[in-house]
Homo-oligomer: A and B are copies of this chain.
Amino acid sequence: MPDTVKHVGTPAESQLSLLPLLTLDCIILGFHEDQLRVLLLRWKGTQEWSLPGGPVRKDESVDAAAHRILKERTGLDQIFLQQFHVFGDVKRYEREEIREKLKHVVDPEKWYERAVSIGYYALVDYSKVTPMPDAFTEECQWWDIQEIPPLLFDHNHMIDAALRALRMQLSWQPIGYNLLPDQFTMPELQRLYEMILGRTLDPRNFQRKILALGIVDRLEARRKGGAHKAPYLYQFNKARYEALLTEGNLSFS
């Protein structure tokens, strides 16, 4: 339920229990088959997509609301998530356009004139997510970050802002740790960072840097299958990884 509509579909008594004119929107990121992906919702009876989101209840913290919404959309309890920006412009999108596009889902009279939205990004293990639509939508699906369609509201802008924040926080947040499965290959790790940085990296420099940082341990087992020589598998050395993050020294660029 993105943006200004979240108070609409709920009965009057539960509207009273929501913080007014304040909403969350969540950029839920996963990494699969060398692609960074984001979870989007399709509104009932339309081809219109948006980010997941929703209101904050009066008896829950803003962070708890984000965790609740993420659990509802992904089925996951423990998710790494991070506030990254408040979208607080007076006119964040063309309201009349939204009212028209969604008139069969939401009574156009019920849209607020303005709401402030707190943007969160979440990093999830793609393989563990069970995408689930909400009361206004009928499909919840992963989209490659490079193939995002034009979204409702200001949600394309929000995704751009989330990626910019991720890039800035690459040295400080356990990004690889949360997006990759327990075991991964060096090319997979490199590809993840290339997707976030938006540019290619030299494989030999990347591998040398990662190994010098000491944040991964090489496993005995190799990745099975595939035509080439089986690549080594790695896992994060969590203690070392977190120590570097604390200092802000985990620079991959």
Contact = CB atoms under 8 A, between A and B. Distances in A.
Interface of A: 19-22, 56, 58-63, 65, 83, 85-86, 88-90, 114, 116, 118, 167-172, 247-249, 251, 253
B56 A88 contact: yes
Copies in the assembly, this chain: 2
Contacts of A90: 58-61
Contact of A22 (B21, B167, B170): B21
A88 B116 contact: no
Contact of A118 (B86, B114, B167, B247): B86
A130 B251 CA distance: 40
A116 B248 contact: no
Contacts of A118: 86, 88
A8 to B, nearest CB: 18
- 10 nearest A-B residue pairs (beta carbon): A62-B88, A61-B89, A168-B172, A20-B20, A61-B88, A86-B118, A61-B90, A83-B86, A62-B86, A19-B21
